[in-house]
């Protein structure tokens, strides 16, 4: 009888550990989904920032070109 009780205690411990592992795994998956959502938002913002940066550089190049052209025209 003691062997049966010991066997049940051992199995209960194993089942408890499996339950804890499964619970933690589900939390990890939820955390992974959250981090993926955050990453997608950050990536979208990064893409927008890069697009604005390209526009600023294009305007800057245009301003430099106009300034250079005016300087060339006003040179003797």
The encoded tokens of residue 3 equal 């062997």
Q: If you average pLDDT over every residue of the chain, what do you get? A: 86
The encoded tokens of residue 25 equal 């795994």
What are φ and ψ of residue 75, in 5° steps? -75, 145
Confidence (pTM)? 0.55
CA angle 16, 9, 20 (to 5 degrees): 5
Task: Look up tokens 């959502």; give the residue.
Answer: 37
**Tens of pLDDT, residues 38-62:** 999 999 999 999 999 999 999 999 9
């Amino acid at each position: 009888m003691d062997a049966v009780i010991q066997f049940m205690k051992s199995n209960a411990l194993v089942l408890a550990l499996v339950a804890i592992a499964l619970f933690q795994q589900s939390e990890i998956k939820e955390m992974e989904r959250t981090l993926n959502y955050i990453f997608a938002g950050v990536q979208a913002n990064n893409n927008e920032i890069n697009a604005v940066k390209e526009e600023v550089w294009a305007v800057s190049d245009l301003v430099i070109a106009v300034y250079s052209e005016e300087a060339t025209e006003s040179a003797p």
